[in-house]
Structure 1
């Protein structure tokens, strides 16, 4: 196997096409790191990892940084707002420059879809997708699967409803590919303008009532106003009325069912404020699982 193909296999560009065995190995390794008592380790001592965020992020960027530092790596944080990208430098040239300086891996978030795969084919170091446009967000989906598996003890056969702005959601896409591979039953619920036509052959769209009352997991998505080129719904109040997880709707969920959300949250829009930290909610538990999942993924890339 050539060096290029080896490095490409260590990249994590998305979950579409990833095998059940490989997904399971990442989840298992994350479980190891979550249980490990030491806060800082030396697995990646001497390795340099660059966080290259060409789009704003809080949770994902800090989660990756904590994961890198816990593994003992040297961390470089790149921000497009204060970089030569503002002078017109291309994303490719920026990544190629950091590679030339000797970094061992890059965590990358991009606004446009389709750029990451091109980058990975021209870069020799492993790249980890921290979210690319409307395409995928693999580590978010992995931490979502980890949360479900840890709570229920299994993934196969789980009924998962993903509700909201499917059209603009990379989280929905990564969860769809990974959950299907793991044998879960996935259904989408979204207003017509927020549906993704290209996914219609892969998943069934259901009513809000079905999505809430028949699921083991109800995953609400953030309404991504910054990605909307035009208004896709009348108002926040109207969206909540028809597609929000209100306290009244949550009361109709199965007794064992849980609530999830990738965050950040538009409180009282896609989910009522009182439901964010209720007993059913796993939202902040999801966030806590981001570090061990990303430790597993970074270790996979550099070990």
Structure 2
């Protein structure tokens, strides 16, 4: 099946900034359909091949995509850069083109360089799904976050969502910010000065930790300790005291507030160990919701 440029664009999922609320809503609705199915495998994609191409480490996201693809009956090719010819100097473009020429119907791709994915999408004739590109976007994570909020509160309009942590390096923060605002939710950002992304200040206000905690949704971000080797983060313990979701802070939250985190969690850094499975936490529910969301996204790409 040869796709026109417009069809490719409609089937690909490169980010949420350019997607309309209607388009995002249709993905959320389709995810609800897939979640309601009791059969583990519904082979609507049994004659299709999907490749998961991860040029950056991931366990949780890759397994979630693989589970979604296999539940739809797709044939799955997993590709990890650490054990591939990319390590020998083969470019990301060449790898994607190689898999395309072998006959895959869609590619799920995670990579570090910002801007490369959008460029790649113009050079290949298969739909691409962004599984995280640099600190740009992580659309399926934000979709599952929206889905989790919508299931809990009924609608997104009027919600106040605080995103707390390493905003500067966070693709999750960006995708959530773009998507939530399309639905009439208010977003607050909270981060130490060294972890702020000043360009996002035009879209949402940076607030104190105290103000951030007076929201309907508290979304904690993983502190990317590996990015702060240069001493931006003075110590994990100091970060916890100033910006961590501690047991003391959670005790003061309103009962209706839900706690979220894209995972993996640095326990006792951005969130206390006891809070990960607190009654108000939706962290494992988010992971669960990731599978029907990714089923909807893969189906949209391939079918």
Q: Structure 1 length normalisation: TM-score?
A: 0.98
Q: Is structure 2 residue 266 aligned with structure 1 residue 290?
A: no
Does structure 2 retain, via aligned residues, the 8 Å contact 1:8–1:121? Answer: no
Asked if 1:135 corresponds to 2:136, the answer is yes
Query: Separation in 2 of the partners of 1:233 and 1:259?
Result: 23
CA shift for structure 1 position 91: 0.4
Secondary structure in structure 1 of the residue aligned to 2:202: coil
Query: 1: CA distance between counterparts of 2:254 and 2:59?
Result: 33
Q: Is the 8 A contact 1:108 1:128 kept in 2?
A: yes
1:129-178, Cα deviation, whole Å (9 max, x unpaired):
00000000000000000000001111000010000000000000000000
**2-side partners of 1:29 and 1:107: how far apart?**
19
8 Å CA contact 1:10, 1:126 repeated in 2: yes
1:107-146 → structure 2 map (5 Å cutoff): 107-146=108-147
Whether 1:269 and 2:277 are equivalent positions in the alignment is: no
- 1:88: which partner in 2? 89
Distance in 2 (alpha carbons) for counterparts of 1:71 and 1:21: 24
- Trace 1:55-66 onto structure 2 (pairs within 5 A): 55-66=56-67
Mapped pair 1:26 → 2:27: yes
Report the alpha carbon displacement of residue 197 of structure 1 after superposing the two structures with TM.
1.3
Give ranges in structure 2 of 5+ residues lacking alignment: none
Indicate the RMSD between aligned Cα atoms, in angstroms.
Answer: 0.9
Alpha-carbon deviation of 1:8? 2.1
Q: For 1:217 and 1:68, how far apart are their aligned partners in 2?
A: 30
- 1: CA distance, partners of 2:42 / 2:202: 45
State the TM-score, normalized to the length of structure 2.
0.98
Q: How many angstroms apart in 2 are the aligned matches of 1:110 and 1:156? A: 32
* Partners of 2:230 and 2:120 in 1: CA distance: 30
Partner of 1:233 in structure 2? Answer: 233
Aligned to 1:223: 223
Gapped regions of structure 1 (runs ≥ 5): none
Q: How many residues align?
A: 301
What secondary structure sits across from 1:128 in the alignment? Answer: strand
Distance in 2 (alpha carbons) for counterparts of 1:12 and 1:144: 16
Instruction: Give the superposition deviation at 1:17.
Output: 2.1
1:78-122 Cα shifts (integer Å, max 9, x gaps): 011111111100000010110000000000000111110000010
Shift of 1:252: 1.6
Contact 1:240 1:271 in 2 (8 A): yes
* Alpha-carbon separation, structure 2, partners of 1:40 and 1:97: 29
Measured in 1, the distance between the counterparts of 2:202 and 2:285 equals 32
Residues of 1 paired with 2:229 and 2:177: CA distance? 25
Query: Paired residue for 1:190?
Result: 191
Secondary structure of the structure 1 residue equivalent to 2:78: strand
Are 1:42 and 2:43 an aligned pair?
A: yes
- The DSSP-based 3-state class of the residue aligned with 1:227 is helix
Paired position in structure 1 for 2:301: 301
Task: State the shift of 1:229 in Å.
Answer: 6.0
Task: Tell me the distance in 2 between the aligned counterparts of 1:253 and 1:17.
Answer: 34
